Amino acid sequence: MSGKIEILAPAGSQESLVAAVRSGADAVYIGAQSFSARASAANFSDAEIFEAAKYCHSRGVRLHLALNTLVRDEEIDEALRVVKTACEAGVDALIIQDLGLARLVKKAAVDMPLHASTQMTVHTPQGAKTMYDLGFQRVVLARELSHDEIREIVDACPIETEVFVHGALCMSVSGQCEFSALLGGRSGNRGRCAQPCRLPFKVSGGNGYALSLKDLSLLDYLKEIEDIGVTSAKIEGRMKRPEYVAAATDACVAALDNKLDSERKIALESVFSRSGFTQGYYCGKIDSSMFGFRSKENVTSADSALMSRLKQLYKNERQSLPLKFKLTIKKGAVARLEAESGCFKACAEGKIPDKAEKVELSKDRATAQLSKTGGTQFYIESVETDIDGGLAYSMSSLNAMRRSCIEQLSESYCSGYEKNFNVPKLNLANPYRAKYKSPKLRVRLTSTEIPTELIDAELVYVPLFSPVSKVKALIGEGFSVGVEIPRCIFGKEEQVIKRLSEVADIGVRDALVSNIGVVELATSAGLSAHGSFALSAFNTETLWELQDLGLSDIELSQELNIQQMAALGGEIGRGAVVCGKLPLMITRACPAKNAGKNCKICDRHRYIVDRKSNRLELKCDGITTEVLNPVTTYANDILDGAGFLDFLTLRFSTESRQEIIELYTAVKNKEHLSGNYTNGMYKRGVI
């Protein structure tokens, strides 16, 4: 997959679109006015999507449309309507997070390329292979990957890869954050993130912003990323102003041409940054230097003089398309101008030339006049003339033929992008009914210290990398033991494969999976794959897709309310997380590192403190860290007896042995608990 890397720029408005194209983007991604992960951006109406596609295509630039949010059953029809608009407008690709929506698009628009959003948390070779097998043409890789991890994915699979090279860096792994949803009902997975992580969170010895990372910038490594074989270099920023888009795009172009100078770097940092930039993930240096926040100095550095200078980057049309002319003017015949650009051709005819009375039309004069393509997207590659002597021809007539050819070529560049759309049959069926009168109980733990009171649980998940001897002993004691594959396994795929084989050999038959890339790993080892809430089962079509992928059953998304859960169809068994300190986010950059903590000496029992003095515990699995909600969820009053759940999962992390026993007993006995508990999002849901 070696070759010139695509520069993919963001546009949250028409002005930003123009800024991106005129600054040198090879492709631009935009959002519709619904189902966009940047709902607060201006975004594009149906008519504006058509205009954007025409503007981009007439300049040889590709247009991608982001439909990268989770979609409810009742929203499917509207989402498909947007897909139909994209097909008719000739959008080049759709960026999608929701597996169910992707499943429908593959049926409705077979010619529409699909790009797997970074919200799908693809970060392993097998994850990329799964996306490829599902029909995705491209995968937007997780931002937390190192150089070697990106190379491993590129080498393992023929799917196109897209890597973020500049812009904001979420603290959480994309697609795995419920911070905004749990705390305020505004879902990041639905494009409504309130960015609570950018608020002050303290860890002893840190800078006071333990959940805020500096912006990412890999422009110094762009040629290296191109050499790896990455298809597309993506700039974040659909909510940023046009000047930022222009500065970032121009800097990427310069970096690929080995012209990234200090002036461009200073301008880029001044227009937007958070205490500068980081390359920590890419370079494998995850430490305190990655953390930063938006200071007063960062804000004021983008002064009017800088903005005026950056506006000049996109003030004028970028002449990016080659143009060849051939002019033929013969005595007694109509003048003829032929044009060629890329694979497109055009032709215009003018009037019959007059006999020259004073000044005849010379080759040089005709060439100079036809070369005046300023203000258009074309630059002159060559002008060939065949002009008889002794003839006169007006400049206005030459201009008219030139203008006609350019208009024809512009239209030609816009043609052939439309795609067929056929309304797919929805497989919603009737709402699912549970197989059992009362849901079974499953327990997820972070150690092998299991209280005997849990012996009757249908399944007890322990960490995959628990000592094999202890797992074997638990099986011998009568526990129904499964293993939980870590939610993220950056660079650890081979170790996971090996350990799955080892636990299968001692009799483990079940695995809890939280990432699309490990389903195949579990089933290939002979284990039943049970999906966790992290797979974002949000609609009926997603449930069908997960069943087809080989999942035995699935925990429904925690962002659905009880009524939305009850309305889901499909056949796959399902459950829900009923209690525990639920994760607000999962991150590869542990917040404790904000204070310079070293993993080798960390006791793995850390916490951060918010503005209201709440302690948010951190739970590390050796690869990533979960930031836990300070308030325990207990939703048995809502979920038990709902009639559509086969099982309830008690998800424990930092609870004491006594707390585990008490909560398990309460759920088992269907007790109501009073006190400092939350029912999560099962009543209110999210927007």
Query: Does residue 190 sit in helix, strand or coil?
Result: helix
Q: Report the CATH number of the 6-168+215-259 domain.
A: 3.20.20.70
Question: Which candidate, 68, 100, 36, places its Cα nearest to that of 539?
Answer: 100
Q: What are phi and psi of 4, to 5 degrees?
A: -65, 130
Contact indicator for 28, 227 with CB cutoff of 8 Å: no
Which has the closest alpha carbon to 176: 650, 557, 463, 591? 557
Nearest Cα to Cα of residue 165 among 239, 106, 95, 224: 224
**What's the rounded Cα separation, in Å, for the pair 146 and 139?**
16
**What pLDDT does 605 receive?**
67
- CA–CA separation, 360 vs 143, rounded Å? 64
Q: Which fold has domain 440-580+631-678?
A: TIM Barrel (3.20.20)
Note the pTM of the prediction, 2 decimals. Answer: 0.96
Kindly report the number of other CB atoms within 10 A of residue 300's CB atom.
9
> Do residues 185 and 681 touch, judged by C-beta distance below 8 A?
yes
Sign of the CA dihedral running 62, 68, 72, 75: negative
Contact 686, 559 (CB under 8 A): yes
pLDDT tens across 133-178, in order?
999 999 999 999 999 999 999 999 999 999 999 999 999 999 999 9
| Nearest-angstrom CA–CA distance, 660 and 668 | 12
DSSP string, 314-335: GSS----EEEEEEEEE-TTS--
Q: State how far the Cα of 292 lies from the Cα of 227, in Å rounded to an integer.
A: 30
Give the pLDDT confidence score for residue 529 in this predicted structure: 98
Alpha helices in 573-656 (DSSP H): 636-639
3-state secondary structure 425-474: CCCCCCCCCCCCCCCEEEEECCCCCCCHHHCCCCEEEEECCCCHHHHHHH
HEC secondary structure over 601-612: CCCCCEEEECCC
Spatial CB neighbours of 177, under 8 Å, sequence gap ≥ 6: 170, 171, 188, 189, 193, 197, 584, 585, 586
Tokens at residue 527, please? Answer: 């284990």
pLDDT for the residue 428: 73
Q: Spell out, as residue ranges, where the chain has pLDDT lower than 50.
A: 1
Please say whether the beta carbons of 528 and 509 come within 8 A: yes
564 with 543: CB under 8 angstroms?
no
pLDDT at position 425, please? 85
Measure the CA–CA gap between 12 and 167, rounded to whole angstroms: 14
Domain ranges of the chain: 6-168+215-259, 321-414, 440-580+631-678
Residue 403 and residue 424: Cα distance in Å, rounded?
Answer: 44
Q: Where are the beta strands (DSSP E) in 247-375?
A: 277-278, 321-329, 336-341, 344-349, 354-355
